[in-house]
Amino acid sequence: MGFGIKLKVWGDYACFTRPEMKVERVSYDVMTPSAARGILEAIYWKPAIRWVIDCIHVINPIQFDNIRRNEVEGKISSNKVKSALKGSDASLFQDTNAERQQRASYVLRDVCYCIDAHFDLTDKAGPEDTVEKHYNIALRRMRKGQYFHQPYFGCREFPVNFEFIEDSMPESCYSGKTQDLGFMLYDIDFEDEMKAVFFRAEMQDGVIDIGKCLEKGGVS
């Protein structure tokens, strides 16, 4: 196990979309482990390391809002992109005015979480890749507020503010309570044809201990 980090993240809105909702976007009650990993990778990512989420601390009350947003109906197909790369006369243009549609979204508002995580070295790590080296780089970037691309809460229009936690975790508003959050998305297995992996999430004292949840309920 690599060195652990503690990161506080917060923002005005968040949407961690439930995959079972086919038409409109409906968010999970809390941030998923894959979304937390995406935030850390936006700050610091290298092929030599892989972030592992240990715990997610829910600091603020879970609150939802109904909003409507303009979205593009479709996307440029991968076949057109491949044809263009081969020199074919393929159009990669999208008319956002013609393809725009309004969709309702059930999103979280005024969110604040603390991510407890570590990273492991992958098989792509070389002799120069050490845990200490990558930990110090990640630590420096988090303290300075640096990132490769803007981290976001599920959707790019919901940016993340973050700061490195030097001392103890902030207290959760759910301290002393236990809540079953049901099945949640754990991650996407890219080595198995992008298979979605789910787990049974339980929040105790405002903390979702990912390791304990996986041991208790397993993954599916």
% the chain with pLDDT above 70: 95
What's the pLDDT at 78? 79
CB 98 within 8 A of CB 87: no
Check: CB of residue 199 under 8 Å from CB of residue 184.
yes
Residue 80 has pLDDT above 80, yes or no: no
Residue 194: pLDDT over 90: no
Question: Is 70 exceeded by the pLDDT of residue 210?
Answer: yes
What does the pLDDT read at residue 220?
62
H or E segment to which residue 80 belongs: helix 78-85
Between residues 213 and 92, the one the model is more confident about: 213
Residue-range domain boundaries for the chain: 4-217
CATH topology for the 4-217 domain: Alpha-Beta Plaits (3.30.70)
Mean pLDDT of 133-160: 94
CB atoms within 10 A of CB 36: 26
Q: What are the φ/ψ torsions at residue 207 (nearest 5 degrees)?
A: -120, 130
Q: Is the pLDDT of residue 150 over 50?
A: yes
Task: Give yes or no for a contact between 42 and 148, defined as CB atoms under 8 angstroms apart.
Answer: yes
For β-strands 100-121 and 64-72, DSSP reports them as: antiparallel
Q: pLDDT-derived band of residue 218, with 50, 70 and 90 as boundaries?
A: low
pTM as predicted: 0.85
Sign of CA dihedral 167, 172, 175, 181: negative
pLDDT of residue 217: 65
In the prediction, which pLDDT does 1 show? 46
Half-sphere exposure of 150 (CA within 13 A, CB side): 11
pLDDT: is 174 or 2 the higher one? Answer: 174
Environment class of 142 (CB within 10 Å of its CB; exposed 0-12, middle 13-18, buried 19+): buried
Q: Return d(Cα 140, Cα 43) in angstroms, integer.
A: 10
Q: Give the chain's mean pLDDT.
A: 89
Q: pLDDT band for position 38 (50/70/90)? A: very high
